[in-house]
Structure 1
Amino acid sequence: MPEILNPERIMQVADLSDARLDEYLRLSEAHLRMRTDVENGLYIAESTKVVQRAINAEHVPRSFLLAEKHLDQLVEEFNRFPDAPIFIGDDRQLEDLVGFHLHRGAMASMNRPEPLDLSQVLEASSRVAILEDIADHTNLGAIIRSASGLGVDAVLLTPKCVDPWYRRSARVSMGTVFDLPWVRMLSWPEDIRTLKQHGYQMLAMELTDDAIPLNEVQITAGQKVAMILGNEGRGVTAQALEAVDQTVIIPMHREVDSLNVGAASAIAFWHLCSAPR
């Protein structure tokens, strides 16, 4: 087992008012964190696996926070970034600091990379998922994990969609959010015009009178396709539906009218990505 090259970086959590720990305070307050973390150019990676995937994606840690018993799990990451301090504490101290029981090994405060360019992402892609105002971080993480695993090239987020780098989203995605390109659009649904200019067929998953079964959607080689998935409560907005080329549904049985957006997204992605490109 390699050793931490500079063990003097390891600091015991002694005073929860220590300003160096401010980035880890009250992590359970999701709506507050979503705003302030973006403004401050950071996000929190939670669990050793997510920290490792973030660093493997070339994201840069500001600091690490973990229980002493987990130190040996991130030695390679510690040594790659010798200037990032390592804070350790017992379970009670860490819970008092972050606001919940930290049982997934470790956390790291990470610098947010610069946003990707929408046009460049669209040019490089052929299968795109558009997430319209997804409100639940767990749903977002599950959708991104499915998108990554099933072959979606990129994910686009509307302005009101929750943050994919919020710790719960990133954790549920198993860190795949760091490998899959995503862009937060600035103007919705006006940005649909940009997708059409790049040659995308626009689909939306929604229960409308003219919706067709997903399995009847024919995709030819070379065709670019984008699928909109709507908010958990209201679905896809009327403004977006007016701009798409076709609405689609997943045929259901036993009087079940729809699936959770996370489950529905996996089915949609499999269909889109199994078609020839």
Structure 2
Amino acid sequence: MARLIEIADPADPRLADYRDLRDVQLRRALEAEHGLFLAEGEKVVRRAVEGGFEARSFLMAPRWLDGLADVLDASDAPCYVLSEALAERVTGFHVHRGALASLHRRPDPSLESVIEGARFVLVLEDLVDHTNVGAAFRSGAALGVDAVLLSPRCADPLYRRAVKVGMGAVFSLPWTRVPDWYDALPTLAGHGFTSVALTLAPDAVPLEEAVAGLDRIALVLGSEGHGLTSRWEQSADRRAIIPMAAGIDSLNVAAAAAVACYVTARR
């Protein structure tokens, strides 16, 4: 059972994991150095723990304790209890989603273990916005994606903002970061996947046409600004587009991911 520890000093060193959450650069360095990530909100904290991630600690105001009592009972990690005003001073923002938890990261699984048995994988190349990554995970989890593959430069799906936007989908949807990005497409082809790249290339066909009749699909989306790199755009087995109304060339990548996952899952 988690140990309840009342905190009265916002400078208490035991709260270091939760300090200055608005500072993205600082948080990236701290979380990488200490191998941790944060979950925010009762549902997300619960999904993280149920997903097998070990808690380092919890932070919550007294009124939040009952909703996560079963999660706290199942953990040996300390639970720091403090007022909402004090929590805001520590974190730098209004903690309104019920609770926070600091959890241990796990090593990225191998590509082979993530795609084993999968028929539909979502591939994200260089998405740098945590909100878009979280939204893509949420759409993927809701619309039939079996796994997500990330390029080395993709934003961290375990960063607090990504986890929050994705409503904890990162804890239930298998994923990994692919270090050998240059040869990732040939590797996927070797495992029987047909790659379908969303792009505005001249030879792109409507997505519904591109995915028709395929068994194992790797649906590839590129960065927010420039889209896919030329290697991935040109090396994909098929290039596809989501047809737009006149005068509009494309959707935001998060919206495109949702539409593309819906169409692909119903091929």
Q: What is the TM-score normalised by the length of structure 1?
A: 0.92
In 2, Cα distance between equivalents of 1:71 and 1:218: 47
Conserved? CA contact 1:145–1:173, under 8 Å = yes
Q: Does 1:242 align with 2:234?
A: yes
Task: Find the counterpart in structure 2 of residue 42 from structure 1.
Answer: 36
Q: Does 1:109 align with 2:98?
A: no
Task: Find the counterpart in structure 1 of residue 174 from structure 2.
Answer: 181
In 1, Cα distance between equivalents of 2:197 and 2:30: 32
Conserved? CA contact 1:34–1:162, under 8 Å = no
Conserved? CA contact 1:67–1:106, under 8 Å = yes
For residue 271 of structure 1, report the CA deviation from its aligned partner.
1.6
Task: Deviation per CA, 1:115-174: give whole Å up to 9, x if none.
Answer: 211012222211010111111111111111110010100000101111111111111111
Q: Does 1:129 align with 2:122?
A: yes
Q: Which amino acid aligns with 2:170?
A: V
Task: Deviation per CA, 1:216-261: give whole Å up to 9, x if none.
Answer: 124336x211011111111111121122112111111131111111
Q: Does 1:19 align with 2:13?
A: yes
Unaligned runs of 5+ in 2: none
Range 236-245 or range 32-41, more displaced: 32-41
Q: What percentage of aligned pairs have identical amino acids? A: 43
Matches within 5 A, 1:166-205: 166-205=159-198
Extract structure 1 runs of 4+ deviating beyond 3 A: none
Task: Find the counterpart in structure 1 of residue 264 from structure 2.
Answer: 272
In 1, Cα distance between equivalents of 2:22 and 2:211: 44
In 1, Cα distance between equivalents of 2:44 and 2:110: 24
In 1, Cα distance between equivalents of 2:211 and 2:175: 26
2:65 is paired with a residue of what secondary structure?
A: helix
In 1, Cα distance between equivalents of 2:32 and 2:221: 24
In 2, Cα distance between equivalents of 1:47 and 1:184: 26
Unaligned runs of 5+ in 1: none
Conserved? CA contact 2:151–2:179, under 8 Å = yes
Q: Does 1:224 align with 2:225?
A: no
Q: Which amino acid aligns with 1:164?
A: P
Conserved? CA contact 1:204–1:246, under 8 Å = yes
Cα RMSD after superposing both structures? 1.5
For residue 182 of structure 1, report the CA deviation from its aligned partner.
0.5
Task: Find the counterpart in structure 2 of residue 157 from structure 1.
Answer: 150
Conserved? CA contact 1:204–1:247, under 8 Å = yes
Number of equivalenced pairs:
267
Conserved? CA contact 1:26–1:98, under 8 Å = yes
For residue 21 of structure 1, report the CA deviation from its aligned partner.
1.1
Q: Does 1:56 align with 2:50?
A: yes
